[in-house]
């Protein structure tokens, strides 16, 4: 670990918006003495501390685990979902990625299916509804067979795990010019399609989850791959191809 790092002077341009129906605007804040060792959210904590001390409303932004796993944090930072570092959530981003004197733009995810709640916080319940439409196996508690009853080829198990790594943050939607939720949805469809346990409900799952995605107002995928580039968990667009195959297969079967 390097010493205590350098101190940065920064200009923040932050989106403020009281509610979904009110108009938002950019607010400017000058920050001094920000250590390169602290995280991006700790830098925002510092700002909020200053705001609260002067009796002003702190900037509302989502966060919880601060370890890159809960999917709560979001933010467009200088136009990039989760900021400049590859495969990194906003909460794991550190100030050493920024330089002295820099101006940083901080905005919420922008998508019709993710309405702004306040400032930088958006409503991502559309993602929950997509999972509710079929992202499960209908096994009741207590009725499962022995875990070793069905072996799963390691390769499939590993691919399922890679897909299951999705944290549901929504960066894929935020990065997509069509605001498509295909990467998120395909990660769950793929995980279950790759496992024997997911086979029985495979058809309905593909149909229902894709339908829900449309119903929520997400756009269509036109293979831009911006989602994969922005995804902090490096979920592969191969999952979208798999979902499309699942969907075609399901459509063919269900037409019978």
Q: Of the listed pieces 1-9, 14-22, 49-57, 65-73, which binds ligand FES according to CB under 6 A?
A: 65-73
Q: Among 5, 10, 6, 7, which residue's Cα sits nearest to residue 102?
A: 10
Closest CA to 129 of 116, 117, 140, 114: 114
Which residues face 34 on adjacent strands?
8
Residues between 77 and 116 that touch ligand SF4 (CB under 6 A): none
Binding residues for ligand FES restricted to 70-89, rule: CB under 6 A: 70-73, 89
Task: Reduce the DSSP state of residue 67 to 3 states and report it.
Answer: coil
**Distance in Å, CB of 169 to ligand FES, minimum:** 7
d(CA 185, CA 114): 15
- Which two structure tokens, joined as six digits, stand for 98? 């920024």
Say how far apart CA 203 and CA 95 lie, in whole Å.
46
Which does residue 60 bind out of another protein, ligand FES, ligand SF4, none, counting CB within 5 to 8 angstroms by kind?
another protein
Question: Does 65 interact with ligand FES (rule: CB under 6 A)?
Answer: yes
Site string for ligand FES, 157-186 (x = CB under 6 A): ----------x-------------------
Query: Cβ 78 to ligand SF4, closest distance in Å?
Result: 18
Tokens of 256: 């019978």
The rounded distance, in Å, linking the Cα atoms of 249 and 25 is 46
CB of 168 to ligand SF4, least distance (A): 5
Residue 80 binding result from another protein, ligand FES, ligand SF4, none, given CB thresholds of 5 to 8 Å by partner type: none
Spatial strand order of the sheet with 7-16 comes to: 25-35, 7-16, 103-107, 76-77, 80-81
| Window 7-46: residues binding ligand SF4 (CB under 6 A) | none
Considering beta carbons, is residue 69 or 229 the nearer one to another protein?
69
* Residue pointed to by tokens 């009853």: 149
Tell me the closest approach of the beta carbon of residue 22 to ligand FES, in angstroms.
Answer: 26
State the binding string over 217-256 for ligand SF4 (x if CB under 6 A, else -).
--------------xxx-x---------------------
Token pair for 9: 């002077």
- Residue from 166, 207, 210, 243 binding ligand SF4 (CB under 6 A): 166
Angstrom distance (rounded) from CA 105 to CA 140: 47
- From residue 65, how far is each of 23, 151, 236 by CA, in Å? 30, 34, 24
Of positions 75, 120, 187, 192, contacts ligand SF4 by CB under 6 A: 187
Q: Under the rule (CB under 6 A), what is the footprint of ligand FES?
A: 63-66, 68-73, 89-91, 167
């Amino acid at each position: 670990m390097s010493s205590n790092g350098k101190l940065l002077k920064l200009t923040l341009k932050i989106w403020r918006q009281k509610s979904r129906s009110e108009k938002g605007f950019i607010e400017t804040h000058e920050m001094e003495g920000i250590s390169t060792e602290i995280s991006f959210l700790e830098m925002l904590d510092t700002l909020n501390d200053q705001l609260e001390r002067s009796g002003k409303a702190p900037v509302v932004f989502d966060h919880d685990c601060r370890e890159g796993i809960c999917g709560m944090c979001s933010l467009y930072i200088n136009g990039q979902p989760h900021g400049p570092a590859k495969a990194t959530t906003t909460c794991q981003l550190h100030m050493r990625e920024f330089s002295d004197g820099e101006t940083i733009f901080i905005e919420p995810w922008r998508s019709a299916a993710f309405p702004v709640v306040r400032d930088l916080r958006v409503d991502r319940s559309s993602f929950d509804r997509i999972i509710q439409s079929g992202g499960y196996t209908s096994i009741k508690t207590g009725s499962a067979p022995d875990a070793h009853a069905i072996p799963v080829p390691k390769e499939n198990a590993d691919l399922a795990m890679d897909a299951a790594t999705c944290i549901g943050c929504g960066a894929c939607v935020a990065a997509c010019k069509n605001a498509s939720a295909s990467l998120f949805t395909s990660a769950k469809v793929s995980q279950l399609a790759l496992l024997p346990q997911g086979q029985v409900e495979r058809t309905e799952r593909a149909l229902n989850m894709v339908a829900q995605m449309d119903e929520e107002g997400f756009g269509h995928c036109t293979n831009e791959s911006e989602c994969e580039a922005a995804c902090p968990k490096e979920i592969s667009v191969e999952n979208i191809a798999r979902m499309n195959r699942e969907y075609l297969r399901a459509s063919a079967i269900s037409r019978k």
